[in-house]
Amino acid sequence: MLIDLFAGDIRSKFEIVLRQTTLPIVPDRHQTFQRQLSHRLDLPSIQFSICSLERADSSIGLIKPELYKNELVRQSSTDSAELEFCGKLHFALKYDQEVEALIVKIFEARDLPIKDMSGSSDPYIKVFLLPDRKKKFQTKVHRKNLNPVFNETFLFSVPYEELRQRYLQFSVYDFDRFSRHDLIGHVVLKGLLESADLHQEIEYTMNILAAPQEKKDLGELMLSLCYLPTAGRLTVTVIKGRNLKAMDINGSSDPYVKICLICQGKRIKKKKTTVKKNTLCPVYNEALVFDLPADNVFDVTLVVKVMDYDRIGPNELIGCTAIGAALIGIGRDHWLEMLDNPRKPVAQWYPLNKSPPANVTLPVNEQQNVGLSCLNGR
């Protein structure tokens, strides 16, 4: 009898231990993704208290907002010497307290560049209140006009205090009936509540920052993106390349493509295509699938690298590009169009560049290497 009671007591304690060590179930496909990211501590039960500290009456170390008035409007993280402008945009802002909405009036654009063979452009404007991209507006298309007058008004429903964390982006496009619309440039306005009182209408005339024009001497790569939000699956189809740079003595190359998924500065996954021998215009049509939870779609960047395979020496970089919501230009627009069209493939040509964009956060232990070092050699 004592033995049975002792065995039963051990069994009950063992069951308690099992219940205490049971972990929440995570989908198998997303375990790798979550394991790569930093764990966040949840400390709801710890009591904190605020201590009053005696400090000398000194202005050293204090932030003075008046010193930053001239920095409220930032077009991009690029150095000013590298900025190229392609016209001006005239618009006005006002906050309506009664309807709790930011009123955006787009008046006109001036001196836009020529984008069509006819010697003109067909411009229209998309306006976003970032970082939330769930709401966006678009003006009408103005045919064959480099100085279009829009005179259109849009309302963003948003509490007034939230505008401190928001900023406006105007994206100017050239409409094309038969192919993807060309991005002409951006206007980004930050510090909405710091520069002026929006309870009164304020007019702005700002330069349009030209979209980065990548050199095509390294060639181009066509990629297709398709995202399944319910399954948390991203499919990147490497379709083909054209006019790639010749890397071999015989005037050709043996190209293949590698794609690295980066999140919060950490490499989550990398995949690559097959090698296409002796060609500067390879055709792949290969799908590379990545597990990407819906909560992280705005946190990740795809770094794409085209390599020349070498049987004897190290493989050489032909060119690279990047895709993601944090970028400026083609990579960002392609990513956002993919998110706006779930379960549908969206294709885009990418001019190859010698290095990734400056605002791409590469893994810390690989940033010192040349080029896209997050993608290791084959």
Residue-level pLDDT at 8: 57
Residue with tokens 């949840």: 42
Higher-pLDDT residue of 181 and 158 is 158
Indicate the length of the chain as a whole number: 378
Give the range with max mean pLDDT: 164-168, 293-297, 363-367.
Answer: 293-297
DSSP secondary structure of 269-316: EEEE-----S-SS-EEEEEEEEE--GGGTTTEEEEEEEEE--SSS--E
Percent of the chain topping pLDDT 90: 43
Strand partners of residue 171:
126, 186
- CB contact at 8 A, 337 and 346: yes
Report how far Cα 146 is from the mean position of its chain's Cα atoms: 29
Higher pLDDT, 67 or 164: 164
pLDDT of residue 179: 63
pLDDT band at 38 (very low <50, low <70, confident <90, very high): low
Sign of the Cα pseudo-torsion (330, 335, 341, 344, in order): positive
pLDDT of residue 345 exceeding 60, the answer is: yes
Residues 165-199 have pLDDT tens digits of 888 989 999 888 766 678 888 998 888 887 677 88
* Cβ–Cβ < 8 Å for 75, 186: yes
Angle (nearest 5°) at CA 63 between 61 and 67:
125
For the entire predicted model, the pTM comes to 0.54
- Reading phi first (left if > 0) and then psi (alpha if -120 to 50, else beta), residue 191 is in left
Tell me whether residue 282 is exposed, middle or buried, using C-beta atoms within 10 angstroms of its C-beta: 0 to 12, 13 to 18, 19 or more. buried
Q: In this predicted model, what pLDDT tens digit does every residue of 79-104 receive, in sequence order?
A: 333 568 889 999 999 999 999 999 99
Using CA atoms, how far apart are residues 324 and 331, in angstroms rounded to an integer? 6
**Cα 258 from Cα 303, distance rounded (Å):** 8
Model confidence band, residue 254 (pLDDT cutoffs 50, 70, 90): very high
CA distance 28 to 373: 28
Tokens (6 digits) for 373 = 């070092």
The pLDDT of residue 7: 54
Question: How many Cα neighbours within 13 Å face the side chain of 325?
Answer: 16
Domains of the chain by range and CATH? Answer: 76-210 (2.60.40.150), 220-366 (2.60.40.150)
Mean pLDDT in the chain? 78
Which pLDDT score is estimated for 54?
Answer: 47
User: How many Å apart are CA 32 and CA 36, to the nearest integer?
Assistant: 6
- Taking 60 as the threshold, does the pLDDT of residue 53 lie above it? no
- Closest C-alpha to 181, from 256, 121, 268: 121
Residue 255 has pLDDT above 70, yes or no: yes
